[in-house]
Amino acid sequence: MKTLVWAVVTYGCESWTTKIRNEERIEAFELKCIRTILRVSWTQKKTNGWVLEAAGVERDLLNLIEWRKLSYFGHMMRKEGDCLEKQIMEGTVPGVRKQGRPKMRWIDEMEKMEKWAMRYKMSFEGLLRETEDRRRWRRLVHEATNPRNEDG
């Protein structure tokens, strides 16, 4: 059942521009779903850690979203020529924007994913070059979204 709910919740997440507030709301929704499955009311004063331990799961919804976004990023950057979809995602569509603060673009968010770019000691341009090799890109995305515990 959880997989079905996640499929509905994450529909189209590849193109989202998520902000910190949105990530907090996604995590809250994930825990609310787990509490509902376990039939644990919020009035029972059970901690989030207790709920996750009782369910035997870890928080993984944000990792799923990040994995899908990174996979889609590689797919988009491998496209060649003047593809309209790629132009839209990069924010390079010709025209004039409205006055005021610019909206956050999808490509801006991809550039800010420093936590995994730093892991590979590459610049954003280096990561763009890595997308050209599909197998290598898939391995990088898998390593970035499935961190191993290095505790021992």
Q: What is the mean pLDDT of residues 57-82?
A: 85
Q: What's at 57, amino acid-wise?
A: V
Of the two residues 80 and 54, the one the predictor is more confident about is: 54
Residue 152 pLDDT exceeds 80 = no
Q: What is the mean pLDDT of residues 129-138?
A: 85
Q: What is the mean pLDDT of residues 96-124?
A: 72
* Angstrom distance (rounded) from CA 50 to CA 53: 5
The whole-angstrom distance between residue 70's C-alpha and the CA centroid of its chain comes to 7
Residue 151 pLDDT exceeds 50 = no
Q: What's at 112, amino acid-wise?
A: K
